[in-house]
Amino acid sequence: MAEHLLEVRNLSVEFHTAAGVVQAVRDISYYLDRGETLAILGESGSGKSVSSAAIMNLIDMPPGRISSGQILLDGEDLLTMPAHARREANGRRIAMIFQDPLSHLNPVYTVGWQIREAMTTHGMQAGPARSEAVRLLTRVGIPDPEGAMGKYPHEFSGGQRQRVMIAMALALRPDLLIADEPTTALDVTVQAEVLALLKELQRETGMGVLIITHDLGVVAEIADRVVVMEKGELVETGTVRDVYKNPTHPYTKKLIGAAPGKGEMHIAQLTGELLLSVRDVRKRYGSFDALKGVSFDLRAGETMAIVGESGSGKSTLARVLLRLDEPDAGTAHWKGRDLFTLSPSELYKLRRDLQMVFQDPTQSLNPRMTVFQLVSEAWAIHPDILPKRQWRERVAELLVQVGLSAEHMSRYPHQFSGGQRQRIAIARALALEPQLIVCDEAVSALDVSVQAQVIALLDKLRRDMGISFIFIAHDLPVVRDFADYVMVMQKGEVVELGTVRDVFEAPREAYTRALLAASLDPDPDVQAEHRAARLKRA
């Protein structure tokens, strides 16, 4: 048997917490060869990042403890190595890139200094280090690499920062590159570019790449083999194609089934009464035009999806419509009355009809309030909806409606999982019996399988109660099964507005097509076609 570049054998890691011992990973084994890409796929809490942290010696001990197993790099066990040899291996032989490059680049040093430092600490002279750094920045596609050497991390965009991180990681020509959710914080079009860059660099250097992700699309795009993890255990392993086409473990099946963008598309009805009519809304922040004249209509019972990358103005639009920010110009007629000219007391009444669900339920629920308090606050603010003695009963009803149970009432938000928290936020929005709910990236922070459940819940509420939705997302597949209309935004402008079928099946604008092409399909074959099409275009 030939020696693998990296082999993890029967690794178990546990954490000692006040609540007892938590087994983060249990008895997992996998290997990685040179020139190969292995993806570790799992949702939050699956322990997918723990094994790579063990490889890089990033686990704090205590409270962490590696209770069993070996990590072999070219046959040598990293775990029994002396500390200085381990440090030497880190960086020189194994490099790592992280999810959020901004928090992993030191803000007070220039990026040139930081790349050079990576090389000089491992014994390179200052002169060669500098020219090597310029070469690397050129290689990862940073424009004006000489000038970029003297810039600070905040002067780059998110995608460029990730490229800088990759340049830093490659500075010492490592044999193994670990990428922990490298593209999760990036826009879809940027994500595709960064993944393509990783693939290219791998072909050039022949390094092994271990990529940790929650996204089936990323796996399909870049990986050769995949390891699926659930709750600290390795449930399935194989080539990407095999695992996708013939999943054997129920969890893998569930994960693949939950991938968005496969169901029937809605056919817009155009029958409901006109609810909201937005015309030429503008908003500036200083000299930055966040919204440059946005117009659309929404009818009762319809769902409008607003899709755009960061900086497209989609969240600003939501905030303006809910009067969290004041617009500079434009009108938004809600059943014939202009939202933007309402007095505070009229606005207060209107709040009942217009509600919002935020991106991150961890932050949108007050951590010091119980579920009962959170949901019933709506009635404390609008006392005419419900007399106080019926509060408990109604909270219980709402909780059941969103798929929780009445006994959750006295708990606090931190005692729930992310998906459950978002359900609480939805129950809170429903408490006011609104006619329109604005969901600002309401499922973006959730795991794929949870995402599917929450979207199904929203769809059910629409059918049962006739609620309209404005659903904001940065990713097209998520809205495909749910929206009636799709509005694509870029740099504060509406690029394309049409029914979901039109936008997905016959996109008119180049930007929409680019977005569609950049979003990753979980099917490796489809993804291979996309890649081929992209190469042909380029």
Partner 1 sequence: MSVSSSDTMIAREPSFLVRMMRMLWADKFALCAAIFLLVIVVLAVVGPSWLGELATKQNLRGRNLAPFEWSREWVWWMGADALGRPLLARIIVATQNTIMVAAGAVILSSVVGTLLGLVAGFSSPRVGQIIMRLADVIMSFPSLLIAVIVLYLLGSSILNLVAVLSITRIPVYLRTTRAEVLEIRERMFVQAARVMGASQNRILFRHILPVVFPTLTTLATLDFAYVMLAESALSFLGIGIQPPAITWGLMISQGRQYLTNAWWLSFWPGLAIIMTTLSLNLLSNWLRIALDPVQRWRLEMKGRKDG
Q: Chain-centre distance of CA 198, in angstroms?
A: 19
State which residue, 19 or 270, has the beta carbon closest to partner 1. Answer: 19
Site for partner 1 (CB under 8 A): which residue of 315, 364, 451, 490?
Answer: 364
By beta-carbon proximity to partner 1, the closer residue of 373 and 453 is: 373
- Kindly state whether residue 285 participates in binding partner 1, applying the rule CB under 8 A: no
3-class SS string, 206-258? CCEEEEEECCHHHHHHHCCEEEEEECCEEEEEEEHHHHHHCCCCHHHHHHHHH
The encoded tokens of residue 478 equal 């998520």
Query: Interior CA angle at 151 toward 146 and 287, to 5°?
Result: 120
Residues in the chain: 538
SS3 of 262-292 = CCCCCCCCCCCCEEEEEEEEEEEECCEEEEE
Q: Which residues pair with 226 in a beta bridge?
A: 39, 238
Question: DSSP letters of 148-215?
Answer: HTT--GGGS-HHHHHHHHHHHHHTT--SEEEEESTTTTS-HHHHHHHHHHHHHHHHHH--EEEEEES-
Structure tokens at 300: 């009762």
CB of 430 to partner 1, least distance (A): 12
CB atoms within 10 A of CB 115: 26
390 binds partner 1 (CB under 8 A): no
Listed ranges 42-50, 75-83, 139-147, 365-373: which one lies at the site for partner 1 (CB under 8 A): 365-373
For position 324 contacting partner 1 by CB under 8 A, the verdict is yes
| Part of the chain binding partner 1 (CB under 8 A), chosen from 128-136, 171-179, 379-387, 527-535 | 379-387
- Whether residue 112 contacts residue 164, with contact meaning beta carbons closer than 8 Å, is answered with no
- Kindly indicate which of the ranges 141-149, 195-203, 301-309, 343-351 contains the residues binding partner 1, using the contact rule CB under 8 A: 343-351
Should residue 310 be labelled a site residue for partner 1 when binding is judged by CB under 8 A?
A: no
Among 84, 154, 414, 536, binds partner 1 (CB under 8 A): 414
355 near partner 1, rule: CB under 8 A: yes
Per DSSP, the three-state class of 138 is helix
| Binding residue (CB under 8 A) for partner 1 from 12, 376, 422, 519 | 376
Please, which residue, 142 or 430, has the CB nearer to partner 1?
Answer: 430
- Considering only residues 34, 412, 433, 508, which one is a binding residue for partner 1 as defined by CB under 8 A? 412
**Closest-CA residue to 1 (of 55, 73, 75):** 75
Using the 8-state DSSP alphabet, how is residue 301 labeled? Answer: T
Residue 394 interacts with partner 1 (CB under 8 A): yes or no: no
Q: Which of 66, 228, 306, 356 binds partner 1 (CB under 8 A)?
A: 356
* Least Cβ distance, residue 158 to partner 1 (angstroms): 21
Question: Does 428 interact with partner 1 (rule: CB under 8 A)?
Answer: yes
CB of 104 to partner 1, least distance (A): 24
Is 425 an interacting residue with respect to partner 1 (CB under 8 A)? yes
Residue 215 contacts residue 205 (beta carbons within 8 Å): no
When the beta carbons of 377 and 459 are compared against partner 1, the nearer one is 377
Using CB under 8 A, pick the residue from 154, 368, 389, 536 that binds partner 1: 368
If one asks whether residue 373 binds partner 1 (CB under 8 A), the answer comes out as yes
Among 296, 334, 372, 469, binds partner 1 (CB under 8 A): 372
Query: Shortest Cβ distance from residue 458 to partner 1 (Å)?
Result: 17
CB of 256 within 8 A of CB of 220? no
Closer to partner 1 by CB, 226 or 409: give it: 409
DSSP 8-state class, residue 143: S
Q: Which is nearer to partner 1, 195 or 430 (CB)?
A: 430
Q: How many chain residues are in contact with partner 1, going by CB under 8 A?
A: 37
What is the largest distance, in Å, between two alpha-carbon atoms of the chain?
77
Q: How far is the CB of 358 from partner 1 (least distance, A)?
A: 5
Q: Is there a contact between 522 and 342 (Cβ–Cβ < 8 Å)?
A: no
- Residue 410 found at the interface with partner 1 (CB under 8 A): yes
By CB under 8 A, name the one of 365, 467, 479, 500 that touches partner 1. 365
For residues 325 and 283, the answer to whether their CB atoms sit within 8 Å is yes
Closest CB to partner 1 among 428 and 531?
428
Q: Which of 262, 318, 186, 247 is nearest to 452 (CA)?
A: 262
**Residues 4-33 close enough to bind partner 1 by CB under 8 A:** 18-19
Residues that bind partner 1 (CB under 8 A): 18-19, 322, 324, 347-348, 351-352, 354-356, 358-360, 363-368, 370, 372-373, 376-378, 380-382, 391, 409-410, 412, 414, 425, 428, 432
